[in-house]
Structures are given as C-alpha cells and as structure tokens.
Amino acid sequence: MSLAELQELERGSVIPSYVRFPVEFVRGEGTRLWDAEGNEYLDFLCGISVTSLGHCHPRVVEAVRDQVGRLMHVSNLFYTEPAMRLATRLSESSLGGKVYFCNSGAEANEAAIKLARKAKPGGDIIVAYGAFHGRTYGALSATPQESKQAPFAPLVPGFKAIAPESAVLEALVDERTAAVLLEPIQGESGINVLPDEFLRVARKVCDEHGAMLVFDEIQCGMGRTGTVWAYEQTGTVPDAITSAKALGGGLPIGALVTVPAFGEVLQPGDHGSTFAGGPVVAAAALAALEETDSEDLLNRVRKRGASLTEGLARLPHVVAVRGRGLMLACELDVSAPAVMRRALLDERLIVNATGPATLRLLPPLTVSDEEIEDALARLAGSLSTSGS
Ligand code: PLP
C-alpha cells in the first residue's frame, strides 16, 4: 500500500487526534529505521523515549518470542512468572517497596494519584507548571496546560499548580496535601531540569506535612539520564516513582513503584486493569530493565550525553543546550518545527520540536560515537539551510 493510500484510509477512518509526518516506517534495527521506499533514517527520538535500547533489541525480541508462543494472557486472577519477577527486579532497582502494573504512563500516574488520595482522603495533589503527566482525566488534571485541559472541563478537583520554586512550594504544602507530583526533568515542555534544591525542599515539606512525594520518571527514567532512575542523581528519594515508555523495551507497560511504607495502601478491589502486567509485556520489560541496569551502559550514556551536548553547542543557530545524559534539548534562534521537518525529510534524522524554538533529542542509550557524529552532521545540514 502506498503512503497516499494510507493517508486516504486515515482521512476516512481515523479520529484525527494525531498530526503525522508523511513517512511510513517498515523496519527498525538499533539506531536506524527504514521507510517503505528503503530509505534509512537515524532515530534520535526513540518513539519519544520508548525504544531506548534501540529498535528490536535482540534480548527484548528473544524474551518476547519465547513468551508469546507459550502464553499471552490469563488476567490478574492468576499467577504468571514474568510479572512477579519484574515487580521484584523493579523494586530492587529503585525504592524497595511494592509495584502496581498498568499499560501506559498516564495509567501509572492515575495509580499514583489514587494511592495518594487513599493514603490521605480528600487531600490535594500539587503539580508544577510545565509538567506533562498524561491524557486520562486524573493525569490530565495533573497537567496544568490550558490548551490540553480547557476543552475537557470539568476536570478532577483537588489539583493545584505551582511554579517550580522552593518558596512557592513551602507556602502551599500543608496538612491537606496528599501528594506533590513532579517530573524531575520535564520532558514534553522541552527538557527542563528541576533544580536539586527544589526537589530537596519538596522532600522536606512532604515529610513535615505527611504528604507523598511522587516522581514521574516515565520519560526521564530507565537509564535515559545515565542512572537507571533520574532521582538517583538529584540527592532526593521520593516515596513513589511512575514508569512506562522505555520500561517495556518497545511494548506498552506502565508501573507505579513505592517505598515500603506505601506498599499496602491499595488493597484488593481498589484498582486494576485487565491487561496489566501480562506475561508478554512483563517478559519484555524484564529483559529491558536487566539490559539497562548495567554500569557499563549507564557510563556510556553519561559519556555520550556529554559529547552530544558539546557537539550540539557547536552547531549554527544553537543558542543553548540543556538536559542530562541522553535527554537533551537545544534552543535555536530559528524555527524548531521547520528544522525538525527538514531534518526528517531532507537529512533523514529523527528529532522533535517541543516548542517554536526548542528541539528535543532522545537517542537510544546504545547510540555509538559514529552515530552521534553522523546525527550532528545531518542536523548541521538542516540548520545551515535555515537562515535566521
Ligand atoms: N508522564 C510523562 C513525563 C510523559 O512524558 C508522558 C508521555 O509523554 C506521560 C506521562 C504519559 O504517558 P503515556 O503517553 O504512555 O500515557
């Protein structure tokens, strides 16, 4: 089927909630993707921080192949080994408490919100401007962006948005606060690293007022910043983290992980999902987590993050580079959406514009030095035709 035919089918049958670029991908391997005409692309976006081990990582593929032919689904009425092993591994890699599985990032945040509300009934949830926590009603209510929220009012009550500043947080958190929910590095709003000092203050005020501190690590977790979890580099340990995206190695799974103290708040009947923690996605996630939790790989993420940062800073029209590890954004003095489009269609490099002047790069954690040089050359090509 041609691209024009696919677009015709989309126009006829698909609710138009996505804006797609005119490319059909048919195959992926490592950092590379191929379109239907056989053209090769460098993928520095990873399906928005999902295929973080590269496309079709052999260990993930093998785990899925092995599981998919034996057992795909039985529901949470019964035991399957991959989910139990994954929960144990996830807990050991992070907060040491318990795990709730779901199918996406938004659902992981829903679970965190429900847990926090059950722990402190009627309590407020405090979130930061610039955050993105998902599109379901609870997660959307926690995402203080007028354009995303306004068409869907009324939202879930009890969410308060603040500027991510210590003094504002100290003034607002009190006995009525159930949770403070934060992305340690805000991804969708353009890779904004929340200051360590702000996170420390969040920890302090949550402790003072018996509120939960929840970190949304859906985009910044799973090795993206050079440690398995982003919080490890901040000096602050939250009460719970949410994970999804790269957790499944390319398949859809989400998880809420708590410290031991919050591991028993949700009880039978409080929450659930038919597909949650199914054996195929859990086997994929276990393989992805084991592959990611390697000092060798994480060291390389930190080194390659530093070299990509330096390379980006040298490019024309780049006025600033920010981020941590391989979660990076550059601020341009030309149109980022135009650069993104040229990079994709002329240079066959996949990056993404998060705003009019902001370009986001989320290459695979397995990216090589040569691929970084190649991507920088392609980006330089798309920037040099930009004119300021
Ligand atoms: N939280 C963060 C930080 C995200 O970046 C995203 C998605 O971009 C979500 C939550 C929502 O995840 P999902 O699209 O899997 O529901």
- Rounded mean pLDDT of 227-238? 98
Around 153, how many Cα atoms within 13 Å sit in the side-chain half-sphere? 6
Pairing of strands 40-43, 32-35: antiparallel
End-to-end CA distance of the chain: give it in Å, rounded. 39
| 211/170 Cα distance (integer angstroms) | 13
User: Does the C-beta of 52 come closer than 6 Å to ligand 1?
Assistant: no
What is the reported pLDDT for 96? Answer: 98
> How does residue 386 score in pLDDT terms, banded at 50, 70 and 90?
low
Q: Which atom belonging to ligand 1 lies closest to the Cα atom of 186?
A: 3
Pairing of strands 358-361, 327-332: antiparallel
What is the reported pLDDT for 385? Answer: 77
Of 43, 101, 120, 132, the active-site residue reads 132
Domains of the chain: 3-57+295-384 (3.90.1150.10), 71-292 (3.40.640.10)
Quick: pLDDT tens for 181-207: 999 999 999 999 999 999 999 999 999
Quick: pLDDT tens for 162-180: 999 999 999 999 999 999 9
> Is 80 exceeded by the pLDDT of residue 118?
yes
User: Does the C-beta of 285 come closer than 6 Å to ligand 1?
Assistant: no
> Is 70 exceeded by the pLDDT of residue 333?
yes
Sheet architecture: strand order including 318-324: 318-324, 327-332, 358-361, 352-355
How many helices (H) and strands (E) are present in the chain, helices listed first? 13, 17
Helices marked H in the chain: 3-13, 46-49, 58-68, 81-93, 105-119, 137-141, 146-149, 166-172, 196-209, 279-292, 295-313, 336-342, 369-384
Pocket mutation for ligand 1, best pick of 145, 218, 362 (most atoms within 8 Å of C-beta) = 218
Pocket mutation for ligand 1, best pick of 46, 107, 133 (most atoms within 8 Å of C-beta) = 133
- Atom 12 (ligand 1): residue with closest C-alpha? 105
Pocket mutation for ligand 1, best pick of 49, 102, 137, 219 (most atoms within 8 Å of C-beta) = 219
> How does residue 80 score in pLDDT terms, banded at 50, 70 and 90?
very high
User: Does the C-beta of 105 come closer than 6 Å to ligand 1?
Assistant: yes
User: Does the C-beta of 104 come closer than 6 Å to ligand 1?
Assistant: yes
What global pTM score does this model have? 0.98
Distance 358 CA to ligand 1 centre (A): 19
User: Does the C-beta of 246 come closer than 6 Å to ligand 1?
Assistant: no
- Does the annotation count 245 as an active-site position? yes
> Is 50 exceeded by the pLDDT of residue 82?
yes
> Is 50 exceeded by the pLDDT of residue 388?
no
Helices marked H in 95-195: 105-119, 137-141, 146-149, 166-172
Mean pLDDT (the chain) is 97
Quick: pLDDT tens for 283-331: 999 999 999 999 999 999 999 999 999 999 999 999 999 999 999 999 9
> Is 60 exceeded by the pLDDT of residue 270?
yes
> How does residue 224 score in pLDDT terms, banded at 50, 70 and 90?
very high
